Amino acid sequence: MIQFTLLFASISGALAVIFGAFGAHALKKILNTEQLKSFETGVKYQMYHAIVLLLVGFNFNLETALEKYMVYSFIIGILLFSFSIYGLVISSAKNKKLTFLGPVTPIGGLFLIVGWILLAISILNMNL
**What total of structural domains would you count in the chain?**
1
> pLDDT tens digits, residue range 13-60?
999 999 999 988 988 889 999 999 999 999 999 999 999 999 999 999
> pLDDT tens digits, residue range 52-65?
999 999 999 999 99
Q: Which domain holds residue 15?
A: 2-124
The residue type at 115: G
Cα–Cα distances in Å, from 32 out to 17, 22, 85, 104, 124?
A: 21, 15, 15, 22, 44
Whether pTM > 0.85 for this model: the answer is yes
> pLDDT tens digits, residue range 108-119?
999 999 999 999
Cα 118 to Cα 98: distance, rounded to the nearest angstrom: 32
